[in-house]
Amino acid sequence: MVFMVLRMADWYPWIVLLHLACAIVFVGAVAFEVIVVESLHKCFDIRCDGFSCVGSRFSNWLLLKVVLAFGVLGVFVNAMWAMRHGKMDVCRFKYTHCLVLALMVGIVFLAKTMFYYL
């Protein structure tokens, strides 16, 4: 039995297609959230007036989302620094992507659940 080993160049069009599909789904989810969910939020009393929601569960989860987003930015800046200085090896490359994926999953999870558990 002969196994074909595909080079990265052979996978590249499929990876680009997957990336494009994910971007389309993400844009669709954001558009749905802006168009449909925002109109539903007017029915619920979850908006804050000034500093009245500081210390609430909503603001704490929002703060956690911002911290995770800055974590993604920090990992990205660190990876660019390491690449520029020649310190980006295969292991660091792998763990950088795994860490960014975990942070992004956390952000999406918080974004989708924070309005249900207020």
Mean pLDDT (the chain) is 79
Instruction: Place 2 in a pLDDT band, splitting at 50, 70 and 90.
Output: very low
Query: pTM (2 decimals)?
Result: 0.56
What is each CA distance from 8 to 13, 15, 45, in whole angstroms? 10, 10, 51
Q: Which domain holds residue 24?
A: 6-43
Please compute the mean of the pLDDT values over residues 12-34 and round it to a whole number: 82
Residues 80 and 96 in one domain: yes
- Say if residue 68's pLDDT is above 70: yes
pLDDT at site 77: 92
Are residues 80 and 37 part of one domain?
no
Shared domain check, 104 and 76: yes
| Res. 27: pLDDT tops 70 | yes
Structural domains in the chain (count): 2
Smallest Cα–Cα separation from 69: which of 92, 100, 94? 100
What is the distance between the alpha carbons of residues 3 and 1, in angstroms, rounded to a whole number?
7
The 10s digit of each residue's pLDDT in 42-65 is 665 556 666 666 777 777 888 888
